[in-house]
Amino acid sequence: MTQNLSINADRLYKSLDTLGAIGRYHDARLELYGVNRLALTAGDAEGRRHVVEKMRALGLTVTIDRIGNVYARRRGHDDTLRPVMIGSHIDSVPTAGRFDGCLGVLGGLEIVAALNDAGFTTRRPLVVAFFTDEEGCRFGTDMLGSAVATGRIALDAAYGLKDRDGFLVRDELAKIGFLGDANEHLTAPPHAYVECHIEQGPILRAKGVDIGVVEGVQAISWHEVTIVGKSAHAGTTPMNLRADAGVAAARINLKLREMIASGAYGAEMRATMGAITPSPGLVNIVPGRVVASVDLRNPDDAAMKRAEADIITFYGDVARDERVEVTWRQTARTPVVPFSKSVQARVAAAAARRGLSSAAIISGAGHDAQEMAHITTAGMVFVPGEYDGISHNPREFSTREQCANGVNVLFDVALSFADEGGAP
Ligand code: GLV
Ligand code: MN
Ligand code: MN
């Protein structure tokens, strides 16, 4: 019987639209609506309240933990067995579309709705979760909630993170009403964790493949680099007397390009200086200070380590050459995380059973599933995206069918784990 269950594609797509209307803004240049639900802002709070209401309307029991992660539980036939967890995030980057993270959470709730419609109770309980601040844009550390839940980041360290204006994670959680009291540690890990997500890249769409079988997530390394030179008059200060923090930042950015072009770190290395903030940031003043971010990605741990060592050496070279001071701190770092072979096999088999094509893929983006993989059997289902899979951009778009295919595969995989007996 469970093999025949499918989700309601229209209802799923409509729920993505409804959540996507929360935090909506108009991007005049793109002539598109985007989504801004930056973690722990009023927009995030409204999105959270909407999803929690939806969870309760589906008959789920909602728990909020001390880092603001939200878990919604559906009883199983054998309710003492550990649950199967389906999750992702609903916070967004400030210039988002409506699919990143939301597909996994609303997909999980659509699975619950389909089970309710069919009057079907799984053997193990099911939990649909959304985790706090997956994006890391505001407080500097990605996968924050899931990393706390799985023990990689201590609660106090997470509480102490500040945004650019000095607001603390703990205070902001309290302010939006999501500082829960449940233990933040998943001390009894779920039986399995599965997540459906848009690919956020061009590969599946270019290959014409319906489903990505995610093999794992590449390594991620983030630095916050602070460069201090000397602010001075742009018209009168001779070039040889300058300590220009802006030039130093530009040289680091170009060095990243050179490193990639060298091929020395593998063909898949990526590097981005996404945030560059000069001070005082005025037309006729040599910038005396720059705070910049460096984002490195690599599917090979050894190559990532070499790249990190080389860019850190270069920070010193630039400091000397440009007569500035360069300091840096690591704000996020995760190694390559492989996903469970068992989940991968089930995703491929479910796709085949449903007549969908599939291909193995490595995730370029970070995901909550990579944190869960440290404590349980975990894996992901990817769906293709249109417009070269563009993401972190209002143009992010997957069709109704692409989304439904991914969630139906997620459904099959979740049910297959939920049917398993054995130890709790
Ligand atoms: C999360 O979206 C990331 O930066 O990979
Ligand atoms: Mn995401
Ligand atoms: Mn994202």
The per-residue DSSP string of 158-187 comes to: HHT-B-TT--BHHHHHHHTT----B-SS-S
**Which residue shows structure tokens 């916070």?**
91
Q: What is the mean pLDDT of residues 337-358?
A: 98
* 25 bridge partner residues: 34
pLDDT reported for residue 4: 81
How many A from CA of 197 to the centre of ligand 2? 7
Instruction: Please state, in angstroms and rounded to a whole number, the distance separating the CA atoms of residues 305 and 97.
Output: 32
372-to-103, 283, 359 alpha-carbon distances in Å: 18, 47, 23
Of all ligands present, the nearest one to the C-alpha of 140 is: 1
Please return the burial class of 286, using the count of CB atoms within 10 Å of its CB with bins 0-12, 13-18 and 19+. Answer: buried
Of all ligands present, the nearest one to the C-alpha of 391 is: 3
Return the CATH number of the domain spanning residue range 219-334.
Answer: 3.30.70.360
pLDDT reported for residue 3: 55
Tell me the best of 142, 146, 331 to mutate to test the pocket of ligand 1, counting ligand atoms within 8 Å of each CB and taking the most: 142
Please report how many Cα atoms fall inside a 13 Å half-sphere around the Cα of residue 352, on the Cβ side: 8
Query: 411-424: per-residue pLDDT in tens?
Result: 999 999 999 987 77
Instruction: Please state, in angstroms and rounded to a whole number, the distance separating the CA atoms of residues 373 and 245.
Output: 41
Instruction: Please state, in angstroms and rounded to a whole number, the distance separating the CA atoms of residues 393 and 323.
Output: 37
Among candidate residues 356, 331, 416, the one with its CA nearest the CA of residue 133: 331
Segments of 84-163 assigned E as strands: 84-88, 126-130
Among candidate residues 112, 104, 95, the one with its CA nearest the CA of residue 43: 95
pLDDT reported for residue 1: 42
Q: Is 396 in the pocket of ligand 1 (CB under 6 A)?
A: no
Q: Is 366 in the pocket of ligand 1 (CB under 6 A)?
A: yes
Nearest-atom number in ligand 1 for the CA of 365 is 5
pTM: 0.96
Provide the mean pLDDT of the chain: 97
Percentage of the chain exceeding pLDDT 90: 98
pLDDT reported for residue 422: 77
pLDDT reported for residue 94: 97
Q: Is 365 in the pocket of ligand 1 (CB under 6 A)?
A: yes
Longest dimension (CA), the chain: 80
Task: Give ∠ CA 167-169-174 in degrees, rounded to 5.
Answer: 95
* 76 bridge partner residues: none
Number of H helices, E strands in the chain: 12, 18
Query: 374-392: per-residue pLDDT in tens?
Result: 999 999 999 999 999 999 9
Instruction: Please state, in angstroms and rounded to a whole number, the distance separating the CA atoms of residues 81 and 121.
Output: 13
How many A from CA of 349 to the centre of ligand 2? 24
Cis check for the bond before 280: say yes or no (omega within 30 of 0).
yes
How many A from CA of 265 to the centre of ligand 1? 21
Task: Locate CATH 3.40.630.10 in the chain.
Answer: 2-217+336-418
What's the DSSP call for residue 82?
P
Query: 196-221: per-residue pLDDT in tens?
Result: 999 999 999 999 999 999 999 999 99
| Coil vs helix vs strand at 41 | coil
Q: Is 135 in the pocket of ligand 1 (CB under 6 A)?
A: yes
Copy the structure tokens of residue 98.
């409506």
Going by DSSP bridges, is the β-strand pair 192-198/325-334 parallel, antiparallel, or unpaired?
unpaired
How many A from CA of 101 to the centre of ligand 2? 4
How many A from CA of 209 to the centre of ligand 1? 23
Tell me the best of 214, 392, 393, 396 to mutate to test the pocket of ligand 1, counting ligand atoms within 8 Å of each CB and taking the most: 392
Q: Is 133 in the pocket of ligand 1 (CB under 6 A)?
A: no
| Coil vs helix vs strand at 346 | helix
Among candidate residues 44, 213, 55, 53, the one with its CA nearest the CA of residue 127: 55
Copy the structure tokens of residue 404.
């439904």
Banded pLDDT at 49 (limits 50, 70, 90): very high
Nearest-atom number in ligand 1 for the CA of 93 is 2
How many A from CA of 286 to the centre of ligand 2? 38
Q: What is the mean pLDDT of residues 228-250?
A: 98
2-217+336-418: in CATH 3.30.1490.100: no
Instruction: Please state, in angstroms and rounded to a whole number, the distance separating the CA atoms of residues 105 and 72.
Output: 11
Instruction: Please state, in angstroms and rounded to a whole number, the distance separating the CA atoms of residues 215 and 344.
Output: 7
Instruction: Please state, in angstroms and rounded to a whole number, the distance separating the CA atoms of residues 125 and 80.
Output: 8
**Which helix (H) or strand (E) covers residue 221, if one does?**
strand 219-228
Please return the burial class of 310, using the count of CB atoms within 10 Å of its CB with bins 0-12, 13-18 and 19+. Answer: middle
Copy the structure tokens of residue 99.
């699919």
How many A from CA of 137 to the centre of ligand 1? 9
Task: Locate CATH 3.30.70.360 in the chain.
Answer: 219-334
Copy the structure tokens of residue 233.
């008059």
How many A from CA of 135 to the centre of ligand 3? 5
Q: What share of the chain is helix, strand, coil (3-state, %, to 5)?
A: 35, 25, 40
Please return the burial class of 141, using the count of CB atoms within 10 Å of its CB with bins 0-12, 13-18 and 19+. Answer: buried
Of all ligands present, the nearest one to the C-alpha of 334 is: 1
Q: How far is CA 57 from the centre of its chain?
A: 27
pLDDT higher than threshold 70 for residue 2? no
Nearest-atom number in ligand 1 for the CA of 220 is 5
